[in-house]
Amino acid sequence: MDTTTDLLVQAIDRTRLDAVRRDDADGHGNRVAPFAAVGQGEPLRCCLRFAEPGERIALISYAPFDHPSVWTEVGPVYIHADRCEGYAASGDLPAQLATGPRLLRTYRADDTMNYEHNTVVPDQADLEPVIRRLLSQTDVATVHVRNLDSQCFMYSVGVGEGPGRTSA
């Protein structure tokens, strides 16, 4: 993978979030309970940016894999309480969530975790060159970007098919 290859950055799938909002439940036994963001580090997984003070957000349980897998982990994530514009893929990482500290978890094409390439990125370090290096490995198909301290899922990155894709 070279530096001109587009990255496919994926927020939480819009159809999964539509179901959560429609059902008023996250699918893991929790009701959606909207509240006003304080704007101090609530990373929104629907549009891949930090919440602004006063925005209606919710904290839900989420598992990045939507199919049976031993690697399915459920954890807390912030979303807009109401449908938002989502994340408009550009081939680049989301500006507000593109630096460390982060844990980068690597997965093979069959969605099994590849422990050999899991990487910790230090505070303020640029994630993109590290993600590109990881995706250049023949045994890495996807990278999950996670918070370092709580290891909550932020977004996933794979090799893209060009800009203009939309998720969230």
Q: Is there a single domain that holds both residue 73 and residue 126?
A: no
Q: What is the pTM of this model?
A: 0.90
CA distance 31 to 9: 28
Do residues 107 and 65 both lie within one domain?
Answer: no
Give the β-pairing of 56-62 and 49-50. Answer: unpaired
Co-location of 131 and 81 in the same domain: no
Report pLDDT for 4: 60
Dump pLDDT digits (tens) for 6-28: 899 999 999 999 999 999 999 89
Query: What is the bridge-based pairing of β-strands 87-88 and 49-50?
Result: unpaired
pLDDT in tens, 70-127: 888 899 999 999 999 999 877 889 999 999 999 999 999 999 999 999 999 999 999 9
Q: Kindly state whether residues 74 and 46 are assigned to the same domain.
A: yes
Q: Look up the domain containing 19 and give its range.
A: 14-86
Report the domain count for the chain: 2
